């Protein structure tokens, strides 16, 4: 099966490798990217001189007999590139966030509803073994109906959103769309009830400053003393994260929180932070029912069940796996099956649209200081 890729970055190259690992009949046959010379040489060194390269997605889609298309461009191009694929009714693997503005969300929703394309959105957390197990416990009725959720994401590698191209808010759309979109999605997949409203707040307390715009660590007078310097080799901080964290143009909030109300009346509290480091890393949630509470953390691979009316605590160690805690391989297998017509999507475009809508409205709430309905027909107030 022939794979076409639009935007061949690190993330989508990994996804393509996982797909080919899951189904050896799959192969990359065409790539659209602006870095043609660099990519040709990269694949030539791997012995692959049979790949067609394009600078135009329309040209690739018009010329190549493709069985599936993967989109891994920067975030602001996800919607326009997806619309090109959807109009040709090809199987689509779309990186998150599926859109970064309300306008793009509406365009993508309309294009998807007019298309026959089966779609897998890059939401690996919902298909991890640890989330599957939490869902199994909740579905068993062991803790009762979930009536409250407390979720957290303390990101130990958060500097990437200030020292790399992610610092451009016009590309990211803010960090709800970069990180919370995953967490909102796995919570939705566990609860299986509709969110109705969101209230949110963001702050930027650490990654800000008066150093000149565009300053790189290598050119900074504090490069030898700054704990976030990337001017010298470090196993903790990649040298590709080259820009100053404390310059005028860092962009992006460095923490954010959201309260989400669901149709049953229950609510979720969610908080994310981007200056936590090392052992402070945490990503997971507590699901509370009347009979008990189940909680998990992706970083510890641990699930615990606390019974409320008996002195019993159950602890489970879950083999989560690598690369989004094992979720990438599950999504890759699903997309390979989708292309063969042998599987249905486990992370649909509807899932992607809902999560992006929640994030856009959380961003709007933080900008306006108001509750925002999780609907498509509300005017935007946010300007990056």
As a whole number, the mean pLDDT across the chain is 94
Considering the domain boundaries, does residue 44 fall inside one? yes
Q: Are residues 239 and 364 in the same domain?
A: yes
Q: Are residues 61 and 186 in the same domain?
A: no
Considering the domain boundaries, does residue 70 fall inside one? yes
Please state, in angstroms and rounded to a whole number, the distance separating the CA atoms of residues 253 and 264. Answer: 31
Q: Are residues 162 and 243 in the same domain?
A: yes
Q: Which residues contact 155 (CB under 8 A, 6 or more apart)?
A: 179, 272, 273, 274, 276, 281, 283
C-alpha to C-alpha distances, 262 to 124, 148, 193, nearest whole angstrom: 23, 10, 7
> Which pLDDT tens digit goes with each residue over 199-243?
999 999 999 999 999 999 999 999 999 999 998 877 777 878 999
**CATH code, domain with 114:** 3.40.50.720
Considering the domain boundaries, does residue 280 fall inside one? yes
> Which pLDDT tens digit goes with each residue over 128-169?
999 999 999 999 999 999 999 999 999 999 999 999 999 999
Confidence of residue 319 (pLDDT cuts 50, 70, 90): confident
- Residue 7's pLDDT is 97
Q: Are residues 190 and 247 in the same domain?
A: yes
Total domains, the chain: 2
> Which pLDDT tens digit goes with each residue over 41-54?
999 998 888 999 99
Mean pLDDT in residue range 162-186: 95
Beta-strand (E) ranges in 225-348?
A: 255-262, 267-273, 282-288, 292-297, 302-307, 313-317
Mean pLDDT in residue range 65-80: 97
Considering the domain boundaries, does residue 89 fall inside one? yes
**Is 90 exceeded by the pLDDT of residue 306?**
yes
Please state, in angstroms and rounded to a whole number, the distance separating the CA atoms of residues 51 and 59. Answer: 14
**Residue 10 and residue 39 in contact, taking contact as beta carbons nearer than 8 Å:** no
Q: Are residues 117 and 132 in the same domain?
A: no
- Residue 113's pLDDT is 97
The one-character DSSP state at 67 is S
Q: Are residues 269 and 296 in the same domain?
A: yes
The Cα diameter of the chain in Å comes to 65
Considering the domain boundaries, does residue 188 fall inside one? yes
Hey, is 211 helix, strand or coil? strand
Confidence of residue 381 (pLDDT cuts 50, 70, 90): low
- Residue 383's pLDDT is 56
Bridge-based pairing of strands 2-6 and 68-71 is: parallel
Q: Are residues 154 and 166 in the same domain?
A: yes
Confidence of residue 380 (pLDDT cuts 50, 70, 90): low
Q: Are residues 9 and 104 in the same domain?
A: yes
Q: Are residues 60 and 112 in the same domain?
A: yes
**CATH code, domain with 318:** 3.30.360.10
Hey, is 190 helix, strand or coil? helix
Q: Are residues 203 and 259 in the same domain?
A: yes
Considering the domain boundaries, does residue 379 fall inside one? no
- Residue 240's pLDDT is 83
Question: Where do runs of H (alpha helix) occur along 23-125?
Answer: 36-45, 57-63, 78-86, 102-113
Strand partners, 257: 201, 271
Q: Are residues 94 and 136 in the same domain?
A: no
> Which pLDDT tens digit goes with each residue over 253-262?
999 999 999 9
For residue 227, what are the domain limits? 126-324+356-373
Give the predicted TM-score (pTM) of the model. Answer: 0.94
- Residue 320's pLDDT is 63
């Amino acid at each position: 099966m022939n794979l076409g890729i639009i935007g061949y970055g690190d993330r989508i190259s990994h996804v393509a490798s996982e797909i080919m690992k899951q189904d050896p009949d799959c192969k990359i046959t065409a790539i659209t990217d602006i870095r043609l010379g660099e990519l040709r040489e990269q694949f030539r060194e791997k012995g692959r001189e049979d790949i067609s390269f394009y600078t135009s997605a329309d040209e690739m889609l018009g010329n190549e007999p493709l069985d599936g298309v993967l989109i891994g461009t920067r975030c602001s191009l996800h919607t326009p590139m997806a619309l090109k694929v959807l109009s040709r009714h090809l199987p689509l693997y779309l990186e998150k966030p599926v859109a970064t503005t309300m306008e793009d969300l509406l365009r993508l929703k309309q294009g998807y509803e007019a298309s026959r394309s089966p779609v897998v959105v890059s939401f690996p957390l919902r298909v991890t073994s640890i989330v599957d197990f939490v869902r199994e416990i909740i579905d068993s009725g062991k803790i009762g109906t979930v009536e409250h959720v407390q979720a957290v994401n303390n990101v130990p590698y958060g500097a990437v959103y200030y020292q790399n191209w992610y610092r451009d808010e016009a590309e990211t759309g803010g960090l709800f769309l970069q990180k919370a979109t995953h967490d909102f999605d796995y919570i939705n997949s566990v609860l299986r009830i509709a969110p109705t409203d969101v209230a949110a707040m963001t702050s930027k307390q650490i990654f800000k400053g008066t150093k000149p715009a565009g300053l790189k660590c290598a050119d900074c007078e504090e490069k030898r003393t700054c704990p976030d310097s990337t001017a010298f080799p470090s196993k903790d901080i990649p040298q590709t994260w080259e820009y100053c964290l404390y310059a005028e143009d860092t962009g992006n909030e460095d923490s954010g929180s959201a309260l989400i109300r669901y149709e049953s009346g229950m609510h979720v509290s969610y908080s994310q932070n981007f200056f936590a480091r090392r052992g402070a890393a945490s990503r997971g949630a507590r699901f509370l029912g009347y009979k008990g509470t189940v909680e998990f953390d992706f970083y510890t691979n641990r699930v615990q069940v606390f019974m409320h009316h008996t002195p019993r605590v159950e602890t489970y160690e879950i083999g989560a796996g690598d690369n989004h805690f094992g979720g990438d391989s599950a999504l890759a297998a699903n997309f390979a099956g989708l292309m063969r017509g042998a599987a249905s999507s486990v992370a649909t475009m509807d899932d992607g649209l809902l999560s992006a809508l929640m994030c856009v409205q959380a961003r709007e709430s933080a900008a306006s200081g108001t509750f925002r309905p999780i609907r498509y027909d509300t005017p935007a107030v946010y300007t990056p």
